[in-house]
Amino acid sequence: MDELNRQLECWAEEYECPDFIKSDPVQFPRRYDSKRDVEVSAFLTGWISYGNRKSILKKADELDVLMGHAPYQFIRDFGFEVWKSNETNFYRFYKYSDLYALCQRLQSLYVQYEDLETALLRSGWESNSPVSRIQYLFDGVKGIPSIEGKSACKRLCMFLRWMVRTDSPVDLGVWRGLDPKELVIPLDVHVYQQAVRLQITRRKSADWKTAEEITSFFQCLFPDDPAKGDFALFGEGVNRR
């Protein structure tokens, strides 16, 4: 186990580096300095982060253009209204009307709160889980999964990793009201396959309980920052293909 831990520590350091950004969706919110611009860009980019990375990057770039490279202003000024009744396909199983519904929810939150972090912290939802709080705020919006189902909520965990982890050459760390200790590993196919290969988990499905189990493992390795383990498993998983 000591040998495995040392290897995981090495992989985490190797892959959490500026070069990681070049082929990762995190590059889009990193274009911005304003907290609210970062929030909007990160949340919408995370929302579409299905499929292969090239497709995600292409669609995220298209979305950035549609927002006029001013994400918060686009939401504030109802730039999304043109999508209200648009039932044509936007990306994968999303329609433009689904994108409208998500943007509308964001707009309503920014009317009520200074920023999305404040909305999350003051939501009134009794759960301490940041993922559950996001689900509460965006309940009913397509593409926002529930931890009560079979989903590992990978995209929400990835969004939170971007926003909460500080002192990272990759993540943004613009939210200071949440503790990195609260984060759960974003469990995608690469992370899951590596965790199984390394016998970090023996669970048969990549669901929320599996994500929690893998996170618990990394809490022993990185007690203040378990999501750092994501770089070890994801980076090596992609590199081994």
Residue 54, classified by CB atoms within 10 Å of its CB into exposed (0-12), middle (13-18) or buried (19+), is exposed
Q: Please, which pLDDT band fits residue 238 given cuts at 50, 70 and 90? A: low
Q: Count CB-CB contacts under 10 A for residue 178.
A: 17
Rounded distance between C-alpha atoms, residue 130 and residue 210, angstroms: 17
pLDDT of residue 140: 94
Q: What is the mean pLDDT of residues 177-196?
A: 95
Chain-wide mean pLDDT for the chain? Answer: 94
Q: Please, which pLDDT band fits residue 93 given cuts at 50, 70 and 90? A: very high
Q: What is the mean pLDDT of residues 209-213?
A: 96
Q: Count CB-CB contacts under 10 A for residue 57.
A: 18
Crossing angle of the two packed helices 53-66 and 35-47, in degrees rounded to 10: 130
Asked if residue 220 lies in contact with residue 210, where contact means CB atoms within 8 angstroms, the answer is no
Q: What is the per-residue pLDDT across 32-72, written as a single tens digit (0 to 9) for each?
A: 999 999 999 999 999 999 988 999 999 999 999 999 999 99
CA 122 to chain centre: 20
The token pair that represents 100 in the structure block? 């409208």
Q: ∠ at Cα 45 (22, 239), nearest 5°?
A: 40
pLDDT, greater one: 63 or 150: 63
Instruction: Calculate what percentage of the chain has a pLDDT beyond 70.
Output: 96
Instruction: Calculate what percentage of the chain has a pLDDT beyond 90.
Output: 88
CA 34 to chain centre: 18
- Closest listed residue to residue 40, CA positions, set 99, 84, 122, 124: 99
pTM of the predicted model as reported, rounded to 2 decimal places: 0.95
Q: Please, which pLDDT band fits residue 120 given cuts at 50, 70 and 90? A: very high
Asked if residue 189 lies in contact with residue 199, where contact means CB atoms within 8 angstroms, the answer is no
pLDDT of residue 17: 95
